[in-house]
Chain A
C-alpha cells in the first residue's frame, strides 16, 4: 500500500523532473537516468522511455541523433519552445503545491 502510493507520487512528478533535467542542457537518455537515480526518483529505467516518447509526441521535446563510439547512435534531447512554456507553468504549479503541502503537514 505505502509502496504503491510512493510509486504513484514519484510517477506524478516524473514528467516535471524530466523536463527540468533536459532544460539544463542537451542530454542523452543515460544522463537523464543518472540524474533521476541520484535524486532517488527512478527505480527502473523502463519507466523513462514511454514518458520521453509521450513528451516528444506532445511537442514538448525534440531530439537529434549523434553517433557514438561506444554503441548505437544516441538520441540527445532538448526542450521545444512549447516544452519550455510547459516547464514554466509546471514550476509555478509546483510552487503552489509545495506551499499547500507545507501548510498542511506543518500546521
Chain B
C-alpha cells in the first residue's frame, strides 16, 4: 500500500506514488537550479510537458492508475541526468569570505556533527545489539546449564569458579532488562516503531533463564561458603583442642 498524490504537470493531472513524487520533485528542482535565469521558465515548461507525455504513455502501457518510482526512473534515464543541463547554480558558501578562524570553527562543527551522527545512528545501536547478544549468551548458557544438569554447570563451576559464574549471571540478570529498555528507546527514536512481540517474548524468556542461572549459582556459592565456614569452625575447634592438649602437657 502506498500513499499517492495528484500533481499538475504542465496542465496534465497525474496520480503519482509518494516516493515517485519525491524523486520527480528533486529531479526537476535539481535541473531548474542549473538553468540560466533567462531560459529557465521556457525549458522547465518544455521538460514538464515532455515528462507528462512520457508518464501518461507509461501509465497507458502498464495499465496502471498511478505513476510508480520505476516510471520516473525510466523517464529520468531518457531525459538525462541533471548535470546534462549545466553546473549546479545553487548558492554555496564562498570559501574566501570565511576567515581562517571561521574555517576552523565550521570544520569543528561539521566534524562534531558527523561524530554525533555516527555515534547515534551507527555505533550506539551496534553497541546495544552487542550488549544484548552478550547478555543473552550469559543468560542462555548459565541458565541452560543450571536447568539441564547434563550440560555441566557443575563442571563449569568447578573449572572456572562459582564466584565468576555468579558474577556473570548477576550481570545478565540486570543487563537484559536494561538492554530491553535501551533497544526500545533506540528503535522508537529511529523508526518510530515499538519492538515486535517476538523480541519481547524471546528476551524475557532469556532473562527468566538467566534468573534460573543466577539462583543456581547463588545457591551453590552460599552452600560452598557454608561448607567453608563449617570447615573453619571445625579447624578452630581442632586448634582449641590442640591448645588444651598443650595446657595439659604444661600441667604435667
Q: Do A and B come from one complex?
A: yes
* Residues of chain B whose beta carbon lies under 8 Å from any beta carbon of chain A: 10-12, 31, 35, 38-39, 42-43, 46-47, 49-50, 52-53, 56, 77-81, 84-86
A47-B84, A49-B46, A50-B35 given; name 19 further pairs at CB < 8 Å: A29-B50, A44-B78, A44-B80, A44-B81, A46-B31, A46-B80, A50-B43, A50-B85, A50-B86, A53-B39, A53-B42, A53-B43, A57-B38, A57-B39, A70-B53, A71-B56, A72-B12, A74-B49, A75-B46
Contacts of B79 in A (CB 8 A): 44-46
Interface magnitude class on chain A: 10 to 19
Query: Across the interface, do A53 and B46 meet the contact criterion of CB distance under 8 Å?
Result: yes
What is the interface of chain B mostly: helix, strand, loop, or mixed?
Answer: helix
Interface set, chain A 57-99, CB cutoff 8 A to B = 57, 70-75
Partner of A71, one of B47, B53, B81: B53
Q: How far is the CB of B122 from chain A (nearest CB, A)?
A: 37
Contacts of A47 in B (CB 8 A): 80, 84
Query: In the assembly, what is the distance between CA of A71 and CA of B50, in Å?
Result: 9
Query: In the assembly, what is the distance between CA of A47 and CA of B53, in Å?
Result: 17
Contacts of B12 in A (CB 8 A): 71-72
Given contacts A50-B43, A52-B46, A72 and B35 within 8 Å (CB-CB): no
Given contacts A45-B80, A75-B46, A50 and B39 within 8 Å (CB-CB): yes
Query: Across the interface, do B53 and A54 meet the contact criterion of CB distance under 8 Å?
Result: no
Q: How far is the CB of A38 from chain B (nearest CB, A)?
A: 16
